[in-house]
Amino acid sequence: MNILLINHYAGSVHHGMEYRPYYLAREWVRAGHRVHIVAASHSHLRRQGPTMAGHDRLVEDIDGIHYTWLRTPAYAGNGAGRVRNMLAFVARLWREAPRLAQTFAPHAVIASSTYPLDIWPAHRIARLAGARLLHEVHDLWPLSPMELGGHSRHHPFIMLLQAAENHACRHADAIVSILPRVRGHLEARGMAPHKLHLIPNGVDPDEWPAAGTPPADAPCRGRDVLPPAVAALLSRLRAEGRAIVGYAGSHGLANALDTLLDAAHLLRQRPLAFVLVGAGPEKDRLRRQARSLGLDHVHFVDPVAKRAIPALLARFDIAFLGWRRQPLYRFGIAPNKLLDYMMAGCPVLHAVEAGNDPVAETGCGVSVAPDDPSALAEGLARLVALDPRTRRALGERGRRHVLDHLSYPVLARRFLAVLAQETHHA
């Protein structure tokens, strides 16, 4: 099968996020299929962009996957520059449609760029090639910018996004959603009930240690060498007899790290250490907040390479994941960092109110209400009170669930089954 996957933000293990297109495509290539990913040259998610060298288009092979990078203007933030970047990519894709349909001859076309505008050029390519058309839902647009950004439904760009979402719901042969509670929303916009398939985010098991008994001094599983300064800090904290509560990820408002700092203040007399690893727009402010509260047991650490994440999480006794109370989460959540925590065998402290709660559903930790430092401190105290063997059993429960249901080899096979169906778009 020839599979054309359109994802504005697609990356790879060489470029950085977004990883999902790469991992799915790599599994499809391993299964004997040809995969072509079309992505924009500039994305705020990637740590390294493709080297365009002045060209409007760059074609390269990455681990057996054919990539076409289309030049788009650079931007920063979520303002007009990002909108221009989106529109430039969609316009280029529309112009490239005949060439892609003829030269690659796809059997299936997947529109998967978070925002739904790529459905129109994807539909054009599918018609020209006689291919099956799929729409993949990462976030709900335009609902996300409306509810999170306060944009009016009558704003011209919001109206354009809504027209695209409606077109995808009505004309795609199938819709794959990462979010688990979207059926009612999509059916209200014209999706036939039989079209929806839920395929969440996943992990690459090859990036993680094989099953077996973890080292006695490592509550979670891990491998690869940490930066020396990070390893020294974590070793010192453990030598002091402190249980390490860790967080690895972006430091933004949505990550609820303020609540974690307030909970750390409530538990300042306990033998705990809080280690926050990563970067983000709120990191400096969070540092100042920790200093003002006198939180000497809270440590901020620079981001580590993706390959070092297993070794980092191996040193955590408990991993934290928090959310703000946000109505948009009624459609469900699918956080990648939670999968990393679970693959590492870490028991998870989860502050959440959403349409789903993977921690509670798999029994791999403790869930509490969001935006509530007292509830968070109480949940953390419950986990700390458990003996290490019991905490490890919670973490292993999460690891087993991911390996059985959420590895990319498993998810790629499920996606292929959707691609192989015979119905075609209107």
Beta bridge partners of 276: 247, 300
pTM, two decimals, is 0.92
Q: Where are the domains of the chain?
A: 2-202+407-420, 205-406
pLDDT at residue number 363: 97
Side chain identity, residue 47: R
Beta bridge partners of 351: 322, 368
| Helix (H) and strand (E) counts in the chain | 15, 14
pLDDT along the chain (426 residues), means of 10: 97 92 98 98 90 93 97 89 95 97 97 96 98 97 93 95 98 98 98 97 91 47 75 97 97 96 97 97 97 97 94 97 96 96 97 98 98 98 95 96 97 96 61
Cα(340)–Cα(346) distance, integer angstroms = 9
Helix (H) or strand (E) holding 101: helix 80-104
User: Coil, helix or strand for 123?
Assistant: helix
Of all residues in the chain, what percent are helix, strand and coil, respectively (each to 5)? 45, 20, 40
pLDDT at residue number 79: 86
pLDDT at residue number 421: 83
Class in CATH terms, 205-406:
alpha beta
- Please report the DSSP string for 384-410 in residue order: HHS-HHHHHHHHHHHHHHHHHHSBHHH
Q: Which CATH number fits domain 2-202+407-420: 3.40.50.2000, 3.40.30.10, 3.40.640.10, 3.30.70.270?
A: 3.40.50.2000
Give CA 63 to chain center in angstroms: 21
The CA-based diameter of the chain, rounded to the nearest angstrom, is 67
**Cα within 13 Å of Cα(339), Cβ side:** 20
